[in-house]
């Protein structure tokens, strides 16, 4: 069990560090391509619908300013960005786990192949035991 706890801790640390890489990949590479394809701006996190503004608000209509002023916003772009981050992170981690599993299986197969052959005495004793069992039945 001790090894499993260490594996889990290492996985959490690597996942936390790796999420920053995936976040950057989504923000700086994937989202601009998606926005180019759909003809939008280069940042989905600023896509929102204003449901209600505070009374008398005449400031800028940006997400940060409206949120700070207490407006009710439907921030679908931010959700889409976070969802895309999650999907990409899950996809990459899936392939990492699959690669580690394949490498571990290959290593175990090599270990079995290079294991010392069974001693001749053990084989003979096993055959004698099996013959004795047959005679007693």
Phi–psi pair at 117, nearest 5 degrees:
-65, 155
Output phi, psi for 56, to 5 deg: 80, 10
Q: Are 51 and 62 in contact (CB under 8 A)?
A: no
Per-residue pLDDT of 71-117, as tens digits, reads 888 988 888 878 877 887 788 778 888 988 899 889 888 887 776 66
Q: What integer best gives the mean pLDDT of the chain?
A: 81
Overall pTM > 0.75: no
Domains of the chain: 2-136 (1.10.1200)
* Residue 50 contacts residue 69 (beta carbons within 8 Å): no
């Amino acid at each position: 069990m001790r090894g499993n706890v260490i594996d889990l801790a290492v996985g959490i640390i690597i996942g936390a560090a790796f999420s920053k890489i995936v976040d950057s990949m989504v923000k700086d590479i994937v989202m601009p391509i998606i926005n180019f394809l759909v003809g939008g701006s280069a940042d989905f996190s600023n896509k929102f619908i204003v449901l209600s503004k505070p009374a008398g608000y005449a400031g800028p209509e940006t997400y940060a300013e409206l949120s700070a002023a207490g407006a009710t916003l439907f921030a679908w772009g931010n959700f889409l960005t976070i969802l895309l981050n999650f999907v990409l992170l899950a996809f990459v981690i899936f392939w990492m786990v699959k690669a580690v599993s394949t490498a571990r299986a290959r290593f175990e197969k090599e270990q079995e192949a290079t294991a010392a052959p069974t001693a001749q005495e053990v084989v003979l004793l096993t055959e004698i035991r099996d013959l004795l069992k047959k005679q007693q039945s």
